[in-house]
Amino acid sequence: MQDMNPTDVPGDSREVLLHLFDGTQRKVLITDEETPYPEGKLIVSRTDPEGRITHCNQSFVDMSGYEEDEIIGQPHALLRHPDMPAAAFKDLWETVKEGKKWHGYVKNLRKDGGYYWVYATVIPNVRNGEIVGYTSVRRKPSQKKIEDAISTYASMS
């Protein structure tokens, strides 16, 4: 995946090297700017069986800060924030590949280096007994759940 572009990230930022599951690396730039979850909305995306994004709704586009054509075809690791422990995503993938639902609190990285928290559910799309893709629906988490997640994730990494 492409490194983040400094011209997309306004203000002070820190550079972090992410080590992705497939062995590749991505240079990301992060800021402390939180974008509040949009009231009443769901952030929805779907992928093919390999995890490449095939569809996303307008809230997904708005919150990510990317244009839709920069998102489609990419893996969700486009949103991977360095504060998220790799173990959380390992658990996600193991769960959904078994055909089960996964839930968790996720801190996502925006194109502008800022972040937003979601409560995410990921489910496999099963058609005629086969997994043909995955769908994720994210909703607004409570402040308390975010604080719990921050301390859990800090102790995991």
Partner 1 sequence: MPYQFTVSPDFGPDQLANWHIFNTWLQRQLAIDIHFETFGSFDAQRQAISEGKVDIIYANPYDASFLVREKGFVAVASPHHSDETTVAVPADSPVDSIESLEAGCRIAQTDDPDISMMGMILLEPADLHSGNTKTLVQDSYIQVAKALIQNNADVGFFLSDAYEGLSNLVKSQLKPLVSSDIQIVSHALLLGPPLLDRREELQDRLQAMSEQPQGKNLLDSLGFKDWKPVDEEEMEFMIDLIDALAA
Ligand X SMILES: Cc1cc2nc3c(=O)[nH]c(=O)nc-3n(C[C@H](O)[C@H](O)[C@H](O)COP(=O)(O)O)c2cc1C
By a kind-dependent CB cut-off of 5 to 8 A, residue 13 interacts, out of partner 1, ligand X, none, with none
Residue range at the interface with ligand X (CB under 6 A); choices 5-13, 29-37, 69-77, 142-150: 69-77
Residue 47 makes CB contacts below 8 A (sequence gap 6+) with 53, 54, 75, 76, 133, 134, 135
Name the residue with tokens 């995991």.
Answer: 156
CB 55 within 8 A of CB 43: no
Per-residue binding letters, 110-129, with ligand X (x by CB under 6 A)? ------------x-------
User: Closer CB to ligand X, residue 13 or residue 47?
Assistant: 47
Q: CA of 86: how far to CAs of 11, 13, 19, 117, 128, in Å?
A: 28, 22, 9, 16, 32
With tokens 């800090």, the residue in question is 154
Of the residues 42, 44, 77, 150, which one makes contact with ligand X according to CB under 6 A: 77
CA distance 49 to 123: 12
Whole-number minimum distance, CB 62 to ligand X, in Å? 14
Q: Is 64 in the site for ligand X (CB under 6 A)?
A: no
The per-residue b/e assignment along 12-33, b for 16 or more CB within 10 angstroms, e otherwise, is ebeeeebeeeeeeebebbbbeb
Nearest to 110 by CA among 11, 1, 35: 35
Positions that interact with partner 1 (CB under 8 A): 37, 39-42, 44, 46, 57, 101, 103, 119, 121-123, 125, 127, 135-137, 139-145
Q: Does 76 bind ligand X (CB under 6 A)?
A: yes
Give the binding range for ligand X (CB under 6 A) out of 2-10, 17-25, 30-38, 141-149.
17-25
Q: Would you tell me which residues interact with ligand X (CB under 6 A)? A: 20-22, 47, 51, 75-77, 79-80, 84, 86, 89, 92-93, 96, 106, 108, 122, 134, 136
